[in-house]
Amino acid sequence: MSEQLELYDITIIGGGPAGMYAAFYSGMRDMKTKLIDAKEELGGRMLIYPEKMIWDVGGVTPILCEKLVTQLVQQAKTFDPTIVLGQHITGLERQEDGTYILEAASGERHWTRTILLAIGRGILKMAKLELEGAERYEVSNLHYTVQELGPFRGKRVLISGGGNSAVDWANELEPIASHVTVVHRRDQFGGHEKNVLRMKNSSVDVLTPHEVTQLYSSNGHSIERVTIRHIESEETQQLEVDAVIVNHGLKADFSGIKDWGLHMDDWNVFVGPKLNTNLPGIFSAGDFAAYDSKITLIAGAFTDAALAVNSAKLYMDPEAPYMAYVSSHNERFKEKNKALGVTEE
């Protein structure tokens, strides 16, 4: 190898909950770890919903998503892994000695013994509103996510979409907006049943099956009215709005990874009981990994991560313990506990 690259035991691609916990757990296993994410910050898909409350992480009382991300980042850095942000990994070369060279779209290369794919749904991009001139309003009052609720206070808000996010945003904005209208192409919503029922029993106007067909602005800067059309009758009506929020789903981009020869479909890689892919030394965890007993919860991502890291460790060293010692008895935490003022007998 002509270039001077540092060899890592494991390179984790993806900085969501599975990738961050894998970075922590691989430190427990005394592995030299690198974590790479295409975004400029860690958090993965959780970055889309910073103001959502997370209830289903074991031992954690209800917590804002952005706070949970902050705590996961802090935990991921416990054993000082190398963290590389803003690099989109596309290329893969297996070396004669069984190690791998990973290449980013920008040309950077990374050398590793094993790989853990924790890329979730790939590089996610919001499906845009496919109307002529819609992009000009993205700097004013056309939104594809809700980062803060405050700017919508007292506003007439139209939400286009019917997934979990659209329903959640409608419920969260209903108490503070002057009026909320939800427009969806189908009568059935994809959100959780309890949340859909809450929305329908509130002051939110739910218009189905309808779609947004035109945007109007007298100043060319912000949307003032929209035309919506009934899908079946094709009758139209106009609504005055102060803000439009679009939730038409996400588009996934797996880019060059789909050319590696992995056994995968449009959204997932298929893994074995040890979270192993069909390529030697390459494992997966989190939403990207598919297997029969899959649980698509953040808690499930943590379990996936530990299993995948254990498998990577045993791939490198078949004589290694099959798992890390629990933190209460793990020597790697002795000095860290002292730093916290904890005295152990």
**What would the pLDDT profile of 82-132 be if each residue is shown by its tens digit?**
999 999 999 999 999 999 999 999 999 999 999 999 999 887 677 889 898
CATH number of domain containing 61: 3.50.50.60
- Express as a percent the part of the chain with pLDDT over 90: 79
List the single range of 18-32, 42-56, 196-210, 225-239 with lowest mean pLDDT. Answer: 42-56
309 within domain boundaries = yes
344 within domain boundaries = no
Q: How many domains does the chain have?
A: 2
114 and 12 in a common domain: yes
Domain that holds residue 164: 128-246
User: What pLDDT, in 10s, does the model give residues 231-263?
Assistant: 999 999 999 999 999 998 877 778 789 999 999
102 and 171 in a common domain: no
220 and 272 in a common domain: no
215 and 163 in a common domain: yes
142 and 241 in a common domain: yes
109 and 19 in a common domain: yes
| pLDDT for 52 | 86
214 and 151 in a common domain: yes
275 and 207 in a common domain: no
Interstrand relation of 205-207 and 210-216 (parallel, antiparallel or unpaired): unpaired
259 and 201 in a common domain: no
255 within domain boundaries = yes
Residues 306-328 have a mean pLDDT of 94
269 within domain boundaries = yes
Among 246, 275, 306, identify where a domain stops.
Answer: 246
Residue type, 13: I
* C-alpha–C-alpha distance, residues 254 and 89, integer Å: 9
Among 246, 265, 299, identify where a domain stops.
Answer: 246
Distance from the first to the final alpha carbon of the chain: 49
**Confidence label for 303 from pLDDT (cuts 50, 70 and 90):** very high
Residues 290-318 have a mean pLDDT of 96
| pLDDT for 344 | 62
User: What pLDDT, in 10s, does the model give residues 254-289?
Assistant: 878 999 999 999 889 999 999 999 999 999 999 999
At residue 1, does pLDDT exceed 60?
no
At residue 2, does pLDDT exceed 70?
no
Interstrand relation of 236-240 and 225-230 (parallel, antiparallel or unpaired): antiparallel
115 within domain boundaries = yes
Among 230, 246, 262, identify where a domain stops.
Answer: 246
User: What pLDDT, in 10s, does the model give residues 132-148?
Assistant: 889 999 999 999 988 88
326 within domain boundaries = yes
118 and 14 in a common domain: yes
Q: Model pTM? A: 0.71
At residue 334, does pLDDT exceed 90?
no
241 within domain boundaries = yes
Show Cβ contacts of residue 339 under 8 Å, excluding neighbours closer than 6 positions. none
230 and 174 in a common domain: yes
| pLDDT for 310 | 98
User: What pLDDT, in 10s, does the model give residues 68-77?
Assistant: 999 999 999 9
* C-alpha–C-alpha distance, residues 172 and 180, integer Å: 10
At residue 199, does pLDDT exceed 80?
yes
Residues 299-312 have a mean pLDDT of 97
268 and 182 in a common domain: no
